[in-house]
Structure 1
Amino acid sequence: METPSLYHRALSEVTKSEKYQKKYDYLYNVALACLWSMAFNNIILALTIIPYTCEIPDAPKNVNREDWKEMWIPKNQLGGNMTIFSNCLIYDENNNITDCKRYRYDNTWYKSTIPSENNWVCEKEYYVINILSHNKISETVGSLIFGWFGDAYGRRLTYMISLLLLVIGRTISIIFSHSVVIFSIGCLIAAFPATSALQCTSSISMEISSPKRRSSIAKLRFIASSVGLCLMPLLYWWIREWKLFMITTTVTQLPYLLWSWKMIESPQWLWINQRNKECENILEQIAKDNRTALSSQTKQLISASHEEHTEKQFGFLLLFSNKELALVTILQLFIWVSVTLSYTVSFLSSGESSQTNPFLDFAFQSLAEIPGHFSGAWLADNIGRRYTCVVSFGVSSVAWVIIGFKDFVMWPDVEWILIFVQVLNRYSITISYYIINLLNMEIYPTAMRQSGMALGNLISGIAAAIAPYVLLLGHKHGSFWSSAILSLFSIIGLMSGLGLPETVARRRHPI
């Protein structure tokens, strides 16, 4: 008897009702995914740079406010004949232009954020951008290391370490927010596990479930994570203080951390690593909840098995082993860069709206991801992977053009129009993300699939680290420039999608 079929035989005996698996999913792939999403991403809202101006003396009662402001604040040329007041410069007593010494923040929505509390604005805005960029680098490195660690040392240990690093990192950042260096170290520690904890819980769920349930597990996790992103800004809107907000969202991880020893290890991982008795014990634990049992014959076969289970490993170079494969790989990498830049800038800028409620804006954009997952699946099956990719990038390219001209448009209700465009943009970006993941799974053969995904994630991480500087370009020189870059990359993604093979009718390697 082949070793893999023995494990699946045992699994089929204990998964007839799958009551245990459903309970596990509610606890980890729904509740934890939602709470982890808030704890892991709370730093994005806490680092929001809210509208600010140089602090000037109060205007006398008989002086027009705008005229008084012009006496103190110089104007910057934005484009054409349009000018705006500088946020960072002021006239001194000798009428010379100098840097602001103190700032006044718009507390309409945020009572405090980390930048407003520490005056990380103007030239110090680079603190925020560098932290966001370094976080993405830490996530990328961490995902590579923890991906290997989970396979080598088990899903449960990886899950426990990920939770611990997130809690420790956020605690350091909350306590030492006055020091940009120590605060940044805390952010890097918290970012390092990336989504390893959720990937581990999903892996265990897939490895203890029947094939008919596996396709819905990842979708369940993504939807729960998006729900967490929707709830997170609403919580900040209610609390309004960044420190209490971060404490509240981070403390939700403590119950999972304190009881992490009760989570099961993947029985399939134990089986592959020849820890047969432990594998049998966990399968019996699952069987007990499902009101079934392992047969005595299966138990004997598990105990007697001493076969080694190894998988052949392939490297990145194999993805470029012939011209056709190299072309497909390069086109996919262009798509990874394009969609990651768009998503990261969209995500980081979600809470920056000054004219409308930034919390609802963030929530609406996050909410758009949920139908995006379902639409991506429907469109991929009905119009094809390639054309879905082209259409989604086409919508994003137009959306970025509209967003880029927001500083030049003065018609009424323009902010609400922009919210609609931004929500539509997030929706189309989510579809693009779904499609590139699907194409990666279907274009490459099984032996190369993991290498293809790993390379895509690596390039995606590099693009995510660049994205905060694209956002900064928009802050410093107007949204037109950052949007022009993102629109260009969306067109590159569209053209790359046209060059990829269609896989809708054949889920096998076409080359």
Structure 2
Amino acid sequence: MLDEKLNGDMEKTAHTNEEDEYDESEENDPFQKIMERAGNHGRFQLIYNLTFVLGLAAAGSMVYMNVILALDIPDHWCTVPGRELTNYTMDEWRHLTLPMQTDNRGTSKHSRCEMYNANFTEINDWLHWNKSESNVTVCQHGWSYDRTWYEDTITTKEDWVCAKDLYVTNTFVVGRVTEVVGSFVLGQMGDAYGRRIVYYISIAFCALGRSFSIITTNYYWVFLFCTGLTGLAANSLFQAPQIVGMEISREQDRSIIAIYQSIGWSIGTSLMPLLFWWLRDWVVFMWLTTVPTAIILIFFKYVIESPRWLISKHRYRDAITQFKKIAKINGRQFDLTEKELVQLYANKQADEVTYGMASLFSGWHLTRNTSIMGFSWCVVAVSYFTLVLFSTRMGGNPFLNFLLQSVVEIPAYVVARYLGDTYGRRFTNSSSFLLSFLACIPLIILAPDVKYERIMVGLATFIKFLNALTFFMVNLQSMEIYPTCMRQTGIALGTILANAVGIFAPYLVYLGTTVDIRAPYYILGTLFLIGGIGATFLPETLHKKLPDTMEEARHFGKHDKFFSLPKAPPKVAKAPTAEEVHLNQTKFAP
């Protein structure tokens, strides 16, 4: 039988809701009262979050991002036969056989894709040979590549340069397009059929898609298809486990769970460049960064369905099963019956008709929140991919450039969590966007001069730091603003919009590397400014109860003051039980 305290809390909540329309306090969340019985801060949460939130994020980031390094284009030039018959150095030979062209900084350099149209094996008098009288033609004998950093990449193996240089750009675009499709389909599947089935589908698609792409590079269209298969499930691979982890944990642990996934991502993306730098061969590198995602399947014992989602679908018996599974690993007794759970939610949840993503635009307040969140996702995504793709095209060591932009994410997440839990999600999100806008200004001024290369790398790394901070906040806000019945759909909508706009990121990089190096920063700076202003109009989610129904989501943050910081709810003195004292120790924290 339900204990009196739980019933008393529910009656108090109902009374409060009648007076205030919707009480957003976490203290009035009936689901948290139930989760406390099973343990919402115990051993199960620790194992689940370390394995499926942090561990899978590390493995998933590698299978998702490894193709970026494998498709890097080293410096290259036309192979011109005849140097072996002379005493010229490579630089002298290129000066004789290759025309000069202006690069993206306005500097004159040897052409990468053209050569003088002459038979250099038959020239005897090099002193009197006039290069200007020779016609210029495209490379006739293939290309030579700078092997300083790589022994081989996909692009050097298949010669995806010059006339085929858009092969690389289009590969990234296909990945973004399929991510849009996958986010739409799998995101709604997660809310319709559950998080667990989406988890298994995502691992299968990512692992198989990337594995087949490794062995099909000589068949470009097959390679594109396999790359698209990976992109199809890339976003849901991270979303499904994190949503479950957040829904079965305490309110104060939400930001910790978000930081787990973010740090897992950074660990994976930091290991990748170091591994490739050591191996120098793309095939072994790709296999070693793909297999770990499939290995996560051995932990199937701890894969659960979200009991919060099951309750929202009125699958109370299944929810009780999941509660008992959590309680068993947490060392607790869970004696709540299906009948009691039904009674508890009898007056809480009426059947709601939802219309997929269209439901997120029902009512002005929810429409505004959804629109701003969508735009924030777009800015984060296009800036992230532009900075990451651009990092390997900047001067110096491509592995160190990539590593810097990955390692800097870890302190960014720590700072984001502190700021988000102290000053609120809204303030942190907006401030990060506006600082990114300001950092773009000196980049635009200094970019044309190669002597400021190190300063450029430093500023780009600082923007990447802010980008990671903003991503942490946007991801956390998405988890907290949307209702349980539409949570994965809401996040999926954000990633759909993000990847739709993210399609342009490879072309921004192409524009910056072939036309004007400042072009990407003009566009990113404008997006940062608009995003920073827009984020101030989002509701604050710190110390708020997660909305469960569409009605709660429509009123979420409706009465918040624009110029305000979040306040923690007053603490109520409560004597802990012996069981709580034992289980709520730091070593059992998620």
* Structure 2 residue corresponding to 1:39, chosen from 46, 53, 63: 63
Matched, 1:72 2:111: no
User: Relative contact order (alpha carbons < 8 A, sep ≥ 6): 1 or 2 greater?
Assistant: 2
- The amino acid that maps onto 1:298 is T
Find the counterpart in structure 1 of residue 36 from structure 2: 12
Q: Describe the shift of the 1:247–1:381 C-alpha distance in structure 2 as closer, same or farther (beyond 3 A).
A: closer
* Aligned partners of 1:403 and 1:421 also within 8 Å: yes
After superposition, the C-alpha distances for 1:35-80 in whole angstroms (9 at most, x for unaligned) are: 1111122111111112212223437765465443222111113489
* Structure 2 residue corresponding to 1:283, chosen from 307, 323, 330: 323
Find the counterpart in structure 1 of residue 276 from structure 2: 236
- Structure 2's unaligned 5+ residue stretches are 1-6, 12-27, 120-133, 545-556, 561-590
Map 1:86-165; keep pairs closer than 5 Å.
86-93=111-118, 95-101=134-140, 102-165=142-205
Offset of 1:119 from its aligned partner? 0.6
**TM-score, length-scaled by structure 1:** 0.85
* Structure 1 residue corresponding to 2:72, chosen from 35, 40, 48: 48
After superposition, the C-alpha distances for 1:356-389 in whole angstroms (9 at most, x for unaligned) are: x221221111122222223234445666766655
Q: Describe the shift of the 1:344–1:175 C-alpha distance in structure 2 as closer, same or farther (beyond 3 A).
A: same
Offset of 1:129 from its aligned partner? 0.7
Find the counterpart in structure 2 of residue 509 from structure 1: 558
Moved more, 208-217 or 76-85: 76-85
Matched, 1:85 2:124: no
Q: Secondary structure at 2:304's aligned position in 1?
A: coil
* Aligned partners of 1:385 and 1:435 also within 8 Å: yes
> Aligned-residue CA RMSD in angstroms?
3.7
Moved more, 327-336 or 177-186: 327-336
Q: Describe the shift of the 1:320–1:74 C-alpha distance in structure 2 as closer, same or farther (beyond 3 A).
A: farther
Moved more, 428-437 or 305-314: 305-314
- The amino acid that maps onto 1:351 is T
**TM-score, length-scaled by structure 2:** 0.75
- The amino acid that maps onto 1:170 is R
Q: Describe the shift of the 1:98–1:436 C-alpha distance in structure 2 as closer, same or farther (beyond 3 A).
A: same
Offset of 1:305 from its aligned partner? 9.2
Distance 2:52 2:406 in 1: 21
Find the counterpart in structure 1 of residue 207 from structure 2: 167
- The amino acid that maps onto 2:525 is S
Matched, 1:344 2:397: no
Q: Secondary structure at 2:102's aligned position in 1?
A: strand
Offset of 1:85 from its aligned partner? 1.5
Find the counterpart in structure 1 of residue 570 from structure 2: none
Q: Secondary structure at 1:192's aligned position in 2?
A: helix
Q: Describe the shift of the 1:143–1:389 C-alpha distance in structure 2 as closer, same or farther (beyond 3 A).
A: same
Distance 1:348 1:131 in 2: 12
Structure of larger gyration radius: 2
Distance 1:436 1:207 in 2: 17
Q: Describe the shift of the 1:201–1:242 C-alpha distance in structure 2 as closer, same or farther (beyond 3 A).
A: same
* Aligned partners of 1:112 and 1:242 also within 8 Å: yes
Distance 1:440 1:278 in 2: 26
Find the counterpart in structure 2 of residue 301 from structure 1: 340
Q: Secondary structure at 1:90's aligned position in 2?
A: strand
- The amino acid that maps onto 2:386 is V
Distance 1:383 1:70 in 2: 59
Aligned length: 505
Find the counterpart in structure 1 of residue 528 from structure 2: 490
* Aligned partners of 1:73 and 1:85 also within 8 Å: yes
Map 1:432-451; keep pairs closer than 5 Å.
432-437=470-475
Distance 1:208 1:62 in 2: 72
Q: Secondary structure at 2:504's aligned position in 1?
A: helix
Moved more, 86-95 or 436-445: 436-445
Matched, 1:186 2:186: no
Q: Describe the shift of the 1:310–1:8 C-alpha distance in structure 2 as closer, same or farther (beyond 3 A).
A: farther
Q: Describe the shift of the 1:153–1:387 C-alpha distance in structure 2 as closer, same or farther (beyond 3 A).
A: closer
Map 1:324-339; keep pairs closer than 5 Å.
333-339=374-380
Q: Secondary structure at 1:349's aligned position in 2?
A: helix
Offset of 1:126 from its aligned partner? 0.9
Offset of 1:497 from its aligned partner? 5.0
- The amino acid that maps onto 1:75 is M
Distance 2:447 2:162 in 1: 19
* Aligned partners of 2:38 and 2:326 also within 8 Å: yes
Offset of 1:19 from its aligned partner? 1.3
Moved more, 309-318 or 366-375: 309-318
Map 1:321-470; keep pairs closer than 5 Å.
333-355=374-396, 357-380=397-420, 388-389=428-429, 391-404=431-444, 408-411=448-451, 414-437=452-475, 453=491, 455-470=493-508
Q: Describe the shift of the 1:90–1:39 C-alpha distance in structure 2 as closer, same or farther (beyond 3 A).
A: same
Q: Describe the shift of the 1:461–1:510 C-alpha distance in structure 2 as closer, same or farther (beyond 3 A).
A: farther
- The amino acid that maps onto 1:349 is F
- The amino acid that maps onto 2:44 is Y
**Identity across matched positions, percent:** 31
After superposition, the C-alpha distances for 1:388-447 in whole angstroms (9 at most, x for unaligned) are: 555433443354454456663243xx4433322221110122233344456667888999
Moved more, 100-109 or 10-19: 10-19
Q: Secondary structure at 1:53's aligned position in 2?
A: strand
